[in-house]
Chains A and B, each alone.
Chain A
Amino acid sequence: MNIDLTIKTGRNINRKHRIKSTIVGWSFVILATIMICVFYFYPMVQALILSLQSGSGANLTFVGLKNYARLFNDPTFLTTVKNTVIYLIIQVPIMIIVALFLAVLLNNPKLKLRGLFRTAIFLPCVTSLVAYSVIFKYLFSEDGLINVMLTKFSLISEPINWLGDPFWAKVTIIIALTWRWAGYNMIFYLSALQNIDQSIYEAAKIDGASPVQQFFKITIPLLKPVILFTSITSTIGTLQLFDEVVNITQGGPGNATMTISQYIYNLSFKYTPDFGYAATVSYAIVIMIVFFSIIQFKVAGDKNE
């Protein structure tokens, strides 16, 4: 009888304690969870519903998958996808190679002025996207400083119409993006490099591995998780590109530099507002992000085996 009672109360206290600690635990995380649900997941569901509707402004009617069918016959959409993919497959690899290369150079402990070099290369990260875009717009204008210098050093005979030519405008955007983000990615590689045990390299040297072999056989495999991380974040960033293009070229000439994000903005707030179709286009970005992330995980995973 007596024993029974103690067990019961013991259990009760235990249960009470458990419930209390569960409540305390959830109270710490609940606000953030609600905020993310309200400002990320709920709008995503709303966008899905919107993408099945059509009409201007608030007068929306359900049209099923018609918006999705429209995507494939919309030349502007196809151009923006093409532009975005071009930025992605050219700019992201260039930037990652530049960042990796600079990180390896900076990782040399005997290097003098290391801190100075690192700070200088990292400096572009402090600028706002709008501010640096405006700077690049003027640097690359037809009578701008870049053309002045290139002609002065006789690298070109007449000024390049950087922002007015479909090809050079894309090149300008790629140069601008690389300038802004290479240093940012470099910092991640630098920290990963500093975590590698130097004795691995010494052992490889004794085994007769050349510096190039060491780089491809030791450095790259060990940095793989960080390279995966930076390439996925850069991919997501590039697929959402907006500020730079709007402020350097306004998407022009024609639609030669326009990105998907800018097109969504134009569809919603610049042209006659078509929220339904804009939401459909935005799902195209979601699908592309998922697609490219899976590819990158697959590529990284294969090397693992």
Chain B
Amino acid sequence: MSNLKNVFNYTVLTIASIVSVFPFLWMVVSATNKSVEVTKGRLLPGSHFMENFRNLLDSTNLVNALMNSAKIAIVTTLLALLVSSLAGYGFEIFKSKTKDFVFNFLLLSMMIPFAALMVPLFRMFGTISQIFPSIGIDTMTAVILPTVTTAFLIFFFRQNTKMFPKEIIEAGRIDGLSEWGIFFRLYVPAMKTTYAAAAIITFMSSWNGYLWPLVILQSPENQTVPLLISNLGSSHYPDFGMIMTAVVIATLPTALIFFFMQKHFVAGMLGSVK
């Protein structure tokens, strides 16, 4: 009986694992094959990766798109960590009735779908464009600004701040540190794990962002990686091998982050329900 149950458990988990991993393997294998072989469903690795890669470099502006995506994701992550950790700390440590009300009000923004914000935001940046073209439509700043502050991240930092010992804050005050000094010199270094988890989550969602960049970016030189892949995927005569190579390259940064920081990433997601 117990043996039978074991066989069943392992079978289900093995199937689930294969189904989960298979599209990845197929993507990597396809990146090494010619377009015709990909459509024929070849499952063995080939020797055409370099050729696909060269085609990709020749026919698209991949390097530029990678640079744009990296720039956007890094700046967004740094700003998001600063703004949200300040707020999460502030709401938890300097609690008051008014602040609790404001906090709950900010949480409501999680219910707002991005589709509802897209048009007003686009018009807002249109207006800004007329005065400050450098932060208006078709700029990196316009991509970054609306995605920097999310109620989720503020909530995440507030939850984690609950675990930060209040005695440390008291000790800092007695030693004559200012409130800002306590935050930057005691809190930030002590909360490394929390920051790491938040950084992973933010970097991933920024790196993978699609709808807002699609709306706000217009010129080809501002293209990000998801926009480039989406364009390749919708072409009439697709070179499948080349597209798969692009998909592999686009997935590589987030996959690497995941593998090296898996613990933090999982911890980060769990922090949001604790």
* Residues of chain A whose beta carbon lies under 8 Å from any beta carbon of chain B: 21-22, 24-29, 31-33, 35-36, 39-44, 46-47, 50, 101-102, 105-106, 108, 111, 116-117, 119-139, 141, 143-145, 148-149, 179, 183-184, 187-188, 191-192, 225-226, 229, 236, 239-240, 242-243, 246-247, 250, 260-261, 264-265, 268-269, 275, 278-279, 282-283, 285-286, 289-290, 293
A67 to chain B, nearest CB (A): 13
| B117/A268 in contact, CB under 8 A | no
Q: List 22 A-B contacts (CB under 8 A).
A: A29-B91, A31-B87, A36-B109, A39-B146, A42-B120, A43-B116, A44-B116, A47-B117, A102-B12, A111-B13, A123-B258, A131-B251, A144-B41, A179-B19, A179-B20, A187-B269, A240-B115, A269-B215, A282-B115, A282-B119, A286-B113, A289-B113
Main secondary structure of the interface of A (DSSP, over half): helix
| B211/A243 in contact, CB under 8 A | yes
User: Could you tell me how many residues of chain B have their Cβ less than 8 Å away from some Cβ of chain A?
Assistant: 87
Given known contacts A39-B121, A130-B226, A268-B118, A32 and B113 CB-to-CB distance under 8 angstroms: no
B217 to chain A, nearest CB (A): 12
* A28 cross-chain contacts in B, Cβ below 8 A: 86-87, 89-91, 93-94, 179, 183
| A40/B20 in contact, CB under 8 A | no
Q: How far is the CA of A43 from the CA of B123 in the complex (A)?
A: 9
| B86/A105 in contact, CB under 8 A | no
* A246 cross-chain contacts in B, Cβ below 8 A: 230
Given contacts A46-B123, A121-B20, A187-B266, 5 further A-B contacts (CB under 8 A): A24-B179, A39-B117, A43-B124, A139-B23, A141-B39
B212 to chain A, nearest CB (A): 10
| A31/B262 in contact, CB under 8 A | no
Question: Which residue from chain B places its CB closest to the CB of A102 in the assembled complex?
Answer: B16
**Beta-carbon contacts of B224-254 to A below 8 Å, as 1s and 0s?**
0110011011100000100110010011001
| B233/A242 in contact, CB under 8 A | no
Determine if B207 is an interface residue (Cβ-Cβ < 8 Å): yes
Q: Which of A21, A121, A282 has the most CB of B within 10 A?
A: A282
Main secondary structure of the interface of B (DSSP, over half): helix
What 6 A-B pairs have minimum CB-CB distances, sorted nearest first? A28-B90, A25-B94, A32-B87, A128-B208, A43-B120, A120-B17
| A32/B179 in contact, CB under 8 A | no
* B116 cross-chain contacts in A, Cβ below 8 A: 43-44, 47, 279, 282-283, 285-286
* B131 cross-chain contacts in A, Cβ below 8 A: none
* Residues of chain B whose beta carbon lies under 8 Å from any beta carbon of chain A: 9, 12-14, 16-17, 19-21, 23-24, 26-27, 30, 38-41, 43, 83-84, 86-87, 89-91, 93-94, 96, 99, 102-103, 106, 109-124, 145-146, 148-149, 151, 154, 179-180, 183, 204, 207-208, 210-211, 214-215, 225-226, 229-230, 232-234, 240, 243-244, 247, 250-251, 254-255, 257-258, 262, 266, 269-270, 273
Q: How far is the CA of A32 from the CA of B82 in the complex (A)?
A: 10
Given known contacts A31-B83, A286-B112, A43 and B117 CB-to-CB distance under 8 angstroms: yes
Given known contacts A126-B258, A130-B229, A261-B113, A35 and B121 CB-to-CB distance under 8 angstroms: no
* B106 cross-chain contacts in A, Cβ below 8 A: 32-33, 36
B93 to chain A, nearest CB (A): 8
| B119/A264 in contact, CB under 8 A | yes
Q: How far is the CA of A126 from the CA of B265 in the complex (A)?
A: 10
Question: Which residue from chain A places its CB closest to the CB of B247 in the assembled complex?
Answer: A131
Query: CB < 8 Å: which of B123, B208, B251 contacts A275?
Result: B123
| A126/B255 in contact, CB under 8 A | yes
Q: Which of A117, A143, A179 has the most CB of B within 10 A?
A: A117
| B124/A46 in contact, CB under 8 A | yes
Query: CB < 8 Å: which of B103, B151, B273 contacts A191?
Result: B273
| B115/A35 in contact, CB under 8 A | no
Q: How far is the CA of A245 from the CA of B258 in the complex (A)?
A: 25
